[in-house]
Amino acid sequence: MLSTFTDVEVEYLCHGVPLADYQPTKADHRRQQEAVRTHEWVQRQVAKAPPWTEERRERMRELLGPPIPPWELQRWRLRLYCGHIVEAARIRKSPRPDGGVCDKEACPECCLDPSVIVAFEPLGPLADPPPKKRSQKPSRPSRKPPADRRSKAELAAENEALRAELQALRDQM
């Protein structure tokens, strides 16, 4: 059963009651077994892969961009397959802690990795956004060049074409 909580931007979903007593269902057992098999397969594939160079690591950091600021994260209470209850932070734009994709978490208490999420509820934002800074000067709108303005390269190409046409006319005389 899913219920919802509305934030300013997102309608967060709830599944079950993480703090209530819970007995894993057959579906939970099946999802956990599948998660373990998938995790083991990924570990085998990673072990076969060549090690990354520092350049490749740096390129990956560039592609991923800066870390997500805390005010863009939502806190969640999760009940894991192993029975432990943990808090986790996820991006606020997602209505579920699993993002609809990865419904497992490593348990910090018993170290079961992965442990499927069997119940979850939103707790609120991880942090408040920073206050907006007031600029001392009013910002001017950016000036855009007129639509009929051409680039230097376009003008140079047109100039060269006109010179060639002029030379062709002179040669005909």
Quick one: pLDDT at residue 158? Answer: 87
Q: Which of 32, 24, 119 is nearest to 76 (CA)?
A: 119
Each domain of the chain, given as residue ranges in start order, spans 2-125
Q: Output phi, psi for 125, to 5 deg.
A: -65, 150
Residue 14 gets the label, from left (phi > 0), alpha (psi -120 to 50) or beta, of: beta
- Name the residue with tokens 């003008």: 155
Q: How far is Cα 114 from Cα 42, in angstroms, rounded to an integer?
A: 12
Neighbour count for residue 35 (Cβ, 10 Å)? 19
For the chain, the helix, strand and coil percentages under 3-state DSSP, each to the nearest 5: 35, 20, 45
Q: How far is Cα 19 from Cα 17, in angstroms, rounded to an integer?
A: 6
- Which ranges of 8-150 would DSSP assign to H, the alpha helix? 26-48, 54-64
> In the structure encoding, which two tokens stand for residue 86, read together?
């943990």
Neighbour count for residue 113 (Cβ, 10 Å)? 14
pTM above 0.85, yes or no: no
Neighbour count for residue 121 (Cβ, 10 Å)? 19
Residues with pLDDT less than 70, the chain: 1-8, 100-101, 134-148
